Chain A
Amino acid sequence: DGGITQSPKYLFRKEGQNVTLSCEQNLNHDAMYWYRQDPGQGLRLIYYSQIVNDFQKGDIAEGYSVSREKKESFPLTVTSAQKNPTAFYLCASSRNTEAFFGQGTRLTVV
């Protein structure tokens, strides 16, 4: 089935550790995105990529890094510089008039 796969669904890390969230899509979409959701908040854009080997910062990129070496993959690294990393992270891809989302990864940093 076509879609966007985020893994893992739940992730726990100790404070000070970097952690990488996976996002894979087989929809042949050029554009991919990472959003963050906090309780009572909308979805805020972290990074986006319109094409392979290119990506742009979103509204809250500090403390995060991404890569886009393949069209299908857009991993997000949450670094130790991110002050409040505990959140629900959503990956999305798009081609035409709508964005499709993955199921999300709940990251908890203890």
Chain B
Amino acid sequence: DQQVKQNSPSLSVQEGRISILNCDYTNSMFDYFLWYKKYPAEGPTFLISISSIKDKNEDGRFTVFLNKSAKHLSLHIVPSQPGDSAVYFCAARFYGGSQGNLIFGKGTKLSVKP
């Protein structure tokens, strides 16, 4: 049973517009959430994270929103750029768990068209 779900396998957005990637989770014991970006044949790179005690974290063009009551988080990219085209993984960590012991979603492939 998937504990971290990314229900959209792909998303296509026009350059300059907003990209919204969604992630749902089932386990209320998750205390930290991360987004990773991955290009083909490369390792994921850390993008942005949020603690469960917050509802928003912003870093430049990237903002992550957390809705604990809905067990939902989203990544907003504004404005989207062609270089943002990649697979985005949502990940969650159990309370007290090691930061590397993450539960990953299946990823959403973002395509930003010029």
Contact = CB atoms under 8 A, between A and B. Distances in A.
Interface stretch (A12-20, A63-71, A77-85, A92-100): A92-100
Question: How would you classify the secondary structure of chain A's contact residues: helix, strand, loop or mixed?
Answer: strand
B106 A50 contact: no
A42 B44 contact: no
Contact of B99 (A45, A58, A95, A101): A95
B43 A101 contact: yes
Question: How would you classify the secondary structure of chain B's contact residues: helix, strand, loop or mixed?
Answer: loop
A24 B46 CA distance: 19
Contacts of A100: 46
Interface size of B as a range = 20 to 34
Contacts of B98: 31, 48, 50, 94
Interface string B28-46: 0000101010000111111
B100 A102 contact: no
Contacts of B105: 42
B106 A42 contact: yes
Contact of B89 (A42, A50, A93, A103): A42
Interface of A: 4, 6, 9, 31-33, 35, 40-45, 48, 50, 58, 88, 90, 92-104, 106
B19 interface: no
B42 A104 contact: yes
Contact of A94 (B9, B45, B100): B100
A102 B105 CA distance: 19
Nearest to B106: A42
A82 to B, nearest CB: 20
A32 B99 contact: no
Interface in B72-114: 89, 91, 98-102, 104-107
Interface string B1-42: 000101001000000000000000000000010101000011
A90 B43 contact: yes
Nearest to B51: A97
A103 B49 contact: no
B32 A97 contact: yes
